[in-house]
Structure 1
Amino acid sequence: MNSTRYTVLGVMSGTSLDGVDLAYIRFTKKDNWEYELLDCETIAYESSWVVRLRDAVSQSRDALQELDLLYTEYLARLINDFRKRHPLKDLDIIASHGHTILHQPDQGYTYQIGNLPQLAMLCNTLVVCDFRVEDVALGGQGAPLVPIGDVLLFNNYGACLNIGGFANISFSENDTRIAYDICATNIVLNSLTTKLGFDFDKDGEIAASGTIDQALLHKLNELPFYKQNYPKSLGLEWVKAVVFPVLEQSGLAIEDRIATYTEHMAVQLAHVLKNCKAITPSNGVLVTGGGAYNTHFMQRLEELSGLKITRAAPKMVEFKEALIFGFMGVLRLRNTINVLRSVTGASKDHCAGKLYSP
């Protein structure tokens, strides 16, 4: 396909379990790539699906295969309902990330459900999906994948910082793109706030009301992951095995755990931003992801980093990942590189994504 214009539905489900992001996008190739974010929507997960997805990491492989089929059917239903509400003209592809259940790149394994061939048949549209498995097979981390979009769509910023279930950064250094996960963010905070009956910490109000425990903060900041060199990535397994036990063993009130963990996030991100030479007063940082709405956290990040942190426009905050996975789908159609070895640690740059016809 040699077209220079594509209409794409980007579909993304993040580890924070806030819902499925669907973004209808138009991409145009001129001297550079241009994009238009058109109809966009986040469809919140039903409570039963939140439980299923949160507990899936402990399921058997057979149970996961059954869940994969059910989730593919569920995803197709959400997509088809979205298309009824927002008639999408001349849709070329659906580019879907699926939902990460297992991510163990050091063991050569990553598993995103919802990427079965049935998705194309149920939606009656060409689908590009399952973007991570090839990179892991090539010795990479399978993450982060978004930096290809940062390079080709957002290169006017010194760095791109996304704060979703995990926080990750992407920037250029000596003409090479660097990106990696910094720490777990909303995947931890949201788990804590649910214990208080809230889906998330609105504006960081709970964190602001709690007390930071210096002993717990020190333990969190000393976790070995932060001393590892990139490329590196994180998954739910690491959070359950490492972070949750530290928080639980503290014995603190939930409000104080939230306050302390929010401060921990700000410390880790500020450390990375302060040491990123690509960021200058003239280019700044593009901040996206749900964590960008946490005003208490963002204020602490500014104070600790000494940088002016500017949140992207709301549509970009919420749908940047869906946008870029849509873009990765376009690059896959064009058989051009959409995963960078400098970012993931794979043996080579490559063009990832499985193609399924209806």
Structure 2
Amino acid sequence: MKKNLFRVIGVMSGTSLDGIDLVLVEFEYQGVWRYNIKHSETVKYPDTWYQILKDLVKFSDDQLQVIDTDYTTFLTEVIQGFINKFQIKDFDAICSHGHTAKHEPDKGYTYQIGNLPILAKKLGQAVVCDFRVQDVALGGQGAPLVPIGDKLLFSDFDFCLNLGGFANVSFSRDGERVAYDICPVNIVLNHYAKQLGFDYDDGGSIASNASLDEPLLRALNGLNFYKQTFPKSLGIEWVHSEIFPLINEKDISTEVVLRTLTEHISDQIGLAIKMKPEASVLITGGGAYNTFLIQRIKEKTLNRLHIPDRTLIEFKEAIIFGFLGVLKLRNEVNCLKSVTGASKNHSSGKIFTP
């Protein structure tokens, strides 16, 4: 008989680079899956790691392998610190996303650093990680991976919308789970906020007090990615090749850029969740705190937007990567072909033991 109760540590580092999210969470299966968060913490990146991670696409594969080893060592220290801080004992596994270095699924390539076997050896614990590679090898996008968690843990909502480095949405259609990346969010907003000396645009206050550049907005909304059908996913490479060049050719202030990007994001999200009027939308990720962005989304849809408590806003992805690990340990499907475009549903990830 399969084990139905798991205690795992979920670990997530996203493209917005706001830190490493860690949760200790219990999952129990009794006909349906339930979860219970025991502890949670975000560990901010030291400046040295922030500078390295924001430029990962510029490194060669040989350089990335060295960074991978160093980052895995750093990650073990962060996870061990979390275990020590909360005096965590008797858990089943550490389930870690790692950090995306390069993601070009159309070329059959994705690379997450921090997923090396030394993670298990240094921590003396079972580790489930590297969830994307198998899906790309099966012809999928390798992203987004959270929809299986949306389906099995958050089915009360019609849409699950995550506003992280990128916005992604997940919903059921004709009995199948559908999900895709919508557009960049914090990865671009934070980039331009930093030009003004801020880590982020708090509440969207800078954007809300600036004017809109209509030609830039039309150019952004006209990008080819938005005309593509799902499954589809985005990576930092796309931002560098498509978004930044459009903005760089404009002679406009950073404040106007932030205002226009916010409008662009709300336009694309509004289109994505308009398919079912008055549907319920669970919004998580750091962008949920951007009240101006939420206001603009609200004005473009008839849906009921639900912003949960801080723990779920900030740790939903870490919770779900913990859940992906549990499904892998049970050898059950954790990657849906309807979401990623892979040739089949499958149980993705690698299991390392000490």
TM-score, scaled to structure 1: 0.97
1:24 and 2:29 aligned: no
2:156 is aligned to 156
2:299 is aligned to 303
Alpha-carbon distance in 2 for matches of 1:22, 1:3: 23
Task: Indicate the SS of the match to 2:73.
Answer: helix
After superposition, where does 1:233-272 map in structure 2 within 5 Å?
233-272=233-272
Task: Indicate the SS of the match to 1:140.
Answer: coil
After superposition, where does 1:325-344 map in structure 2 within 5 Å?
325-344=321-340
1:89 and 2:85 aligned: no
The list of structure 1 runs, each at least 4 consecutive aligned residues, that deviate by more than 2 angstroms after superposition, is: none
1:324 and 2:320 aligned: yes
Residue identity opposite 2:286 in structure 1: G
The structural deviation recorded for 1:274 is 1.0
After superposition, where does 1:32-181 map in structure 2 within 5 Å?
32-181=32-181
Alpha-carbon distance in 2 for matches of 1:249, 1:170: 34
Alpha-carbon distance in 1 for matches of 2:245, 2:308: 34
Residue identity opposite 1:70 in structure 2: D
Deviations 1:199-236 (A, max 9, x none): 11110011111111111111000000000000000000
The structural deviation recorded for 1:280 is 4.0
Alpha-carbon distance in 1 for matches of 2:227, 2:49: 35
Alpha-carbon distance in 1 for matches of 2:332, 2:3: 13
Task: Indicate the SS of the match to 1:142.
Answer: coil
Alpha-carbon distance in 2 for matches of 1:352, 1:251: 46
2:274 is aligned to 274
Task: Indicate the SS of the match to 1:155.
Answer: coil
User: What is the identity percentage for the equivalent residue pairs of Structure 1 and Structure 2?
Assistant: 52
Residue identity opposite 1:14 in structure 2: G
Residue identity opposite 1:340 in structure 2: L
Alpha-carbon distance in 1 for matches of 2:278, 2:256: 35
Alpha-carbon distance in 1 for matches of 2:22, 2:57: 24
Alpha-carbon distance in 2 for matches of 1:325, 1:131: 9
1:226 and 2:226 aligned: yes
The structural deviation recorded for 1:307 is 2.6
Alpha-carbon distance in 2 for matches of 1:79, 1:239: 30
Residue identity opposite 1:94 in structure 2: I
Alpha-carbon distance in 2 for matches of 1:229, 1:45: 35
RMSD: 0.9
Task: Indicate the SS of the match to 1:250.
Answer: coil
Deviations 1:85-108 (A, max 9, x none): 111131100000000010000000
2:353 is aligned to 357
Structure 2 contact 170–180 (Cα < 8 Å) conserved:
yes
Alpha-carbon distance in 1 for matches of 2:157, 2:305: 12
Residue identity opposite 1:156 in structure 2: D
Point out the more displaced range, 132-141 or 210-219: 210-219
Deviations 1:100-151 (A, max 9, x none): 0100000000000000000001111000000000000000000001000011
Structure 2 contact 281–303 (Cα < 8 Å) conserved:
no
Residue identity opposite 1:346 in structure 2: A
Alpha-carbon distance in 2 for matches of 1:248, 1:44: 29
Structure 2 contact 13–21 (Cα < 8 Å) conserved:
yes
Deviations 1:31-87 (A, max 9, x none): 111100110001111111111011111111110000000000000000001111111
The structural deviation recorded for 1:258 is 0.4
Gaps of 5+ in 1: none
Residue identity opposite 2:211 in structure 1: T
1:214 is aligned to 214
Structure 1 contact 98–129 (Cα < 8 Å) conserved:
yes
Task: Indicate the SS of the match to 1:304.
Answer: coil
The aligned length equals: 354
Structure 2 contact 328–347 (Cα < 8 Å) conserved:
yes
Alpha-carbon distance in 1 for matches of 2:250, 2:291: 26
- Which of 303, 314, 319 pairs up with 2:310? 314
Deviations 1:19-41 (A, max 9, x none): 00001000111111110011000
Structure 1 contact 158–280 (Cα < 8 Å) conserved:
no
